Structure 1
Amino acid sequence: MTPLSAMKRLVAAGALSLVLCHPAFAQQTIKIGSILSITGPASFLGEPEDKTLRMYVDKINSAGGVGGKKIELVIYDDGGDANKARTFATRLIEDDKVVAMVGGSTTGTTMAMIPVFEEAQVPLISLGGAIEIIEPVRKYVFKTPHTDKMACEKIFENLKQRNLTKIAMISGTEGFSTSMRAQCTKVAPNYGIQIITEETYGPRDSDMTAQLTKIKNTAGIQAVVNAGFGQGPAIVTRNYAQLGMTATPLYQSHGVASKSFIELAGPAAEGVRLPAAALLVGDKLPDSDPQKKVVVDYKKTYEDTTKQPVSTFGGHAYDGLFILVEAMKRANSTDPKKLRDEIEKTKGFVGTGGVVNMSPTDHLGLDLSAFRTLEIKGGDWSLLAPGT
């Protein structure tokens, strides 16, 4: 053997040894995927989700990982584009070989990815809002945010308590808003609510005065419900005040449950009510509330690390990650099928969104008690007492 050949063999052996011993090598880590809308029109969802996942994966790894293995987080930004989300989902499965996925910031991107994960038999824990993500139940699909149907029910519950039964609805036309509008229409009769008139707006509309003027001129309207998320509801809220409609109560969905909505809507947000997770009012919860410690700790960790106000959207990512981590511990495995089974068995998990109890027929595991009714007062969230 020539000296050069011997040297090549030695270098090759050394390189192989380096690969096998490297801590980031796939066999030494647990690959978890995440596809989020970090940029684009839904960045108010994806950005806090991204920061939350990175922050807590670092904390988990610093504490020794899961079962002695570090988590390797593979994140892609779909920019709110459903086609990109599906492409990245295929990449996570075929190239990255993830064992599970926590992500899908919106209903639209989640729905595009579901067939990929179902076919691959890899668990997907969505952060999207619409009930259609988990109804009908799909074997490998779960989610953490409260559903649009629950939002309708919580809003109607509060309206009924106030003897406000004749409402107008204004809704966005994208996935979540369309789904919530359909759910509200479906459950309204259960609460004695009559939807007298309806209007819609597109995702790029910058003024909803025309739609709101029609609502204002409709006789008998006692309250208005906006099914929407993103910048649309802030525009609706500002136009609502400009038209002098504030004597008629305005309700928003949990899709606006971040401080950015209050900032965008400005003083016009005063008095707006919405259903939201306990996370936004953690410091106002009684010490006996089982969620208080979790939400207060998460809020402090998030705000100290990011220097930004907490939102419920990052909390959804926190819940998804730790539901998955707890499932890994119980399964003592990273086999996707075993993880799926253990996620479905989640019981008594105290998260930022509520106390989660999943089952083969419920891949969310939250009931209406997980929602709190909030009112915006003085530019901040105020927790309403039951019955008010």
Structure 2
Amino acid sequence: MSKKIFRRAGFLAATLAAGIFATSVQASDPIKIGSFLSATGPASFLGDPELKTLEMYVEKINADGGVLGRQLQLIHYDDAGDASQARNFASRLVRNDRVDIIIGGSTTGTTMSAAPLIEQARTPFISLAGAIVITEPVKPWVFKTPQSDRMAAERVLGDMQSRGITKVGLISDTGGFGSSGRTQTLEVAANYGIEILADETYGPSDTDMTAQLTRIRNAGVEAVFNFGFGQGPALVTRNYAQLGIDLPFYQSHGVASDRFLELAGTAAEGLRLPASPLLVPDSLDDADPQKAVVQNYKAEYEARWNTQVSTFGAYAYDGLMLAVMAIEQAGSTDREAVRSALENIQGYVGVTGIYNLSPEDHMGLTADSFRILEVKDGQWNLID
């Protein structure tokens, strides 16, 4: 063999060895799960259980061997509910941390602030916020786990229709979630033979809504629907009781947690809302495919954190499980392959609902995934 051929053979052997070494290193690198959540601040009732859920199940998955033989690494930033902070953290996740997928966005505002940047970076993103604008129109790289505000409005209006209610008063907060929910309610009310006779709003920092509720009561309505999240809906509920309004009262899924019952107290008695079955797991029929999933999540979360489970934490659970399923189906962390796998997941039974995603639907839930609950004796009860 000539020296030239020998040198070429040595070069090829070294290149092959380097390639094998690089592949081995890559295979042993962690899969990076990025997250920005409102773990503190006014939306911490959303972000705190979401973060606890991600931490808990990343640890659990890693203890079971990880994904594709690799460990998961959770890289999290607390945006405290601030949209500009969320955008900055999203930039850090995609540009500095170079994460493989992002699960986060506790609120519509933080999600929509970060989404364009994440889209530009072509990184799969699973939001935990509710507004319909997150996934409609479809954005190639953006998905979400909660039902949309339109679906919540449809379930509430459908329940009103079944009770013969045709004249409704609407009150909503002016934040992103409440504003979007108001718009969706106004758009679909006529489909249920319902007329919105009063349309009032309140600011996120308002502490007394009796003036708005008085105007609603005087409009001749048969029921009242509040669309919002945080402490505002609890204040509305207490003001409602203080005014002695004796009409059916509905809240949105934005307050579907035991924390809301604590804030609203006895004033919440009799109100109804759409929610995931997590608040009433033992009331589900044994044949319901979600029952075991819901019960297991509730038991594991409460045992680990010694606190009551939250439907908002369940959004993070479903987001993480969808991400893991997509990575496994893709057989790698290639972003386009993971994105494609995500939008083709069918029949995933989650805590929130049964997901059937598609290129045209990046949420994959139907309105029936909401259950109608009513507060009786200070507890959630399954109505439908």
**What does 1:334-353 correspond to in 2, within 5 Å?**
334-353=333-352
Name the TM-score, length of structure 2 as normaliser.
0.93
Hey, what does 2:233 align to over in structure 1?
A: 233
Preserved contact between residue 28 and residue 70 of structure 2 (Cα < 8 Å): no
| 1:250-278 deviation digits (Å, cap 9, x = unpaired) | 10000001101000000000001000001
**What does 1:343-382 correspond to in 2, within 5 Å?**
343-382=342-381
How far apart are 1:69 and its partner, in Å? 0.2
Amino acid of the structure 2 residue aligned with 1:357: N
Amino acid of the structure 2 residue aligned with 1:235: L
Give the SS at the match of 1:213.
helix
Hey, what does 2:69 align to over in structure 1?
A: 68
How far apart are 1:28 and its partner, in Å? 1.5
Tell me, which stretches of 5 or more residues in structure 2 are unaligned?
A: 1-20
How far apart are 1:100 and its partner, in Å? 0.5
Say whether 1:114 aligns with 2:121: no
Hey, what does 2:202 align to over in structure 1?
A: 201
Q: For residues 341 and 117 of structure 1, what CA distance do their matches in structure 2 show?
A: 16
Give the SS at the match of 2:225.
strand
How far apart are 1:378 and its partner, in Å? 1.2
How far apart are 1:284 and its partner, in Å? 0.7
| 1:9-28 deviation digits (Å, cap 9, x = unpaired) | xxxxxxxxxxx99x999952
Hey, what does 1:10 align to over in structure 2?
A: none
Call closer, same or farther: CA 1:345–1:25 in 2, change over 3 Å. closer
Hey, what does 1:243 align to over in structure 2?
A: 243
Hey, what does 1:138 align to over in structure 2?
A: 139
**What does 1:258-273 correspond to in 2, within 5 Å?**
258-273=257-272
Say whether 1:172 aligns with 2:146: no
Amino acid of the structure 1 residue aligned with 2:50: E
Give the SS at the match of 1:67.
coil
**What does 1:1-388 correspond to in 2, within 5 Å?**
28-219=29-220, 221-245=221-245, 247-385=246-384
Q: For residues 39 and 240 of structure 1, what CA distance do their matches in structure 2 show?
A: 29
Aligned residues: 363
Q: For residues 269 and 302 of structure 2, what CA distance do their matches in structure 1 show?
A: 24
| 1:33-69 deviation digits (Å, cap 9, x = unpaired) | 0100000110000000000000000000000000110
Tell me, which stretches of 5 or more residues in structure 1 are unaligned?
A: 1-19
Preserved contact between residue 92 and residue 98 of structure 1 (Cα < 8 Å): yes
Q: For residues 38 and 119 of structure 2, what CA distance do their matches in structure 1 show?
A: 21
Name the TM-score, length of structure 1 as normaliser.
0.92
Give the SS at the match of 2:267.
helix
Amino acid of the structure 2 residue aligned with 1:174: G
Hey, what does 1:16 align to over in structure 2?
A: none
| 1:128-170 deviation digits (Å, cap 9, x = unpaired) | 0100000000000000001000000000000000000100000
Find runs of 4+ consecutive structure 1 residues off by over 4 angstroms: 23-27
Q: For residues 282 and 289 of structure 2, what CA distance do their matches in structure 1 show?
A: 13
Preserved contact between residue 35 and residue 75 of structure 2 (Cα < 8 Å): yes
Preserved contact between residue 24 and residue 72 of structure 1 (Cα < 8 Å): no
Preserved contact between residue 209 and residue 235 of structure 2 (Cα < 8 Å): yes
Preserved contact between residue 27 and residue 70 of structure 2 (Cα < 8 Å): no
Amino acid of the structure 2 residue aligned with 1:237: T
Amino acid of the structure 2 residue aligned with 1:228: G
Q: For residues 225 and 24 of structure 1, what CA distance do their matches in structure 2 show?
A: 56
Preserved contact between residue 57 and residue 73 of structure 1 (Cα < 8 Å): yes
Amino acid of the structure 2 residue aligned with 1:254: H
